[in-house]
Amino acid sequence: MITRDIDQFLRFARACPNDFGPATAKAAFLVAPEGFALAEQSASDNRYMDLDLGTDVEIALTEHRHLQSALSGSLPTICFPGLADTPDGLFPNNVFATAPGRLILGHMRHSVRQREAERSDIRNFFTGTLGYREIDLREQPGICELTGSLVIDHARGLGFCGLSERCDEVGAAAMHEAFGLRATLMFDLATSEYHSNVVLSVLAGRAVVIAPDGFAETAVVSAIEALYAPHSIRLSPAEKTRFAGNCIALSDRDVWMSRAAATALEPAHQSALAMAGFRLCSVPLWEIEKAGGSLRCCVAEIF
């Protein structure tokens, strides 16, 4: 089922058991920021970017190496080299995603990002080394930037797809089918937002972090919160701006976000994560965050 009907989705979702698959990934991959720069195309619809800021590739590379090392404490984490002509390549989760036995390629809106999906090394790793079947969503007309636009509860097989210039209804339907989800709720993001994963994260199927001002309708926020009650953490605009919503559970216990996000997270929200059974982990990504994404955007999950 894929729908905009909040009540219909909620009735269906509440009846879904936690038996769809593992709640968190078995491994992850990153792409190093060798080509790190602020892409003008991406900045056109990403309010978290400021083209007036200078960037330092060496600082970004150092942050990224520390990120890989830190995440490896939660799950196996591999890293592919970056390319000079892909300045946003360090955010691979928009372009590449996996479901058991499948590699999914997203249909990116901007041409500067479309070239990332041409990488034979990443694609061959999955299709050749791991034997995954490739599903290429670039061949269909809908724009769909994978787990940037689609937040997934992997335990229950539920999708939460925020529509914006980076994802339309046709693309949402294509992702729903490619991931083989039980149900997907489509909703409009606030006009200032570009990706769902900046304003929403489902943590290991049992908790949710959500920023209400990132959604066009408050009814959507209320429905998602109800589904994960009592473990729902409602972010303030200040927390969202520091990328607290761009977090990810990489084990049944570990929730990862950037140091800026963790510092901005209110004590009550830190306690709420602990009550849900999570340990808050963070690494500094000050330079990388200049590109308009944070820790979750850097992580492509392997299922």
Mean pLDDT of the chain: 96
Topology (CATH level 3) of domain 2-302: L-arginine/glycine Amidinotransferase; Chain A (3.75.10)
Tell me: pLDDT of 49 over 70.
Answer: no
Tell me: pLDDT of 41 over 80.
Answer: no
In contact, 117 and 108? CB cutoff 8 Å:
yes
Whether the bond between 230 and the residue before it is cis, its omega within 30 degrees of 0, is yes
Interatomic CA distance for residues 296 and 288, integer angstroms: 12
Pick from 155, 84, 83: nearest CA to 122: 83
What is the structure's pLDDT at 40?
Answer: 75
pLDDT digits (tens, 9 = 90+) for 21-30: 999 999 999 9
Residue with tokens 């800026």: 260
Burial class of residue 193, CB neighbours in 10 A (0-12, 13-18, 19+)? buried
pLDDT digits (tens, 9 = 90+) for 179-230: 999 999 999 999 999 999 999 999 999 999 999 999 999 999 999 999 999 9
Tokens for 1?
Answer: 């089922």
Tell me: pLDDT of 43 over 60.
Answer: no
Pick from 4, 62, 73, 2: nearest CA to 32: 62
Query: CA 73: distance to chain centroid?
Result: 20
What is the structure's pLDDT at 52?
Answer: 74
Tokens for 181?
Answer: 């989800």
pLDDT band, residue 48 (cuts 50/70/90): confident
pLDDT digits (tens, 9 = 90+) for 230-250: 999 999 999 999 999 999 999
End-to-end CA distance of the chain: 22
pLDDT digits (tens, 9 = 90+) for 275-293: 999 999 999 999 999 999 9
Q: DSSP code of 161?
A: E
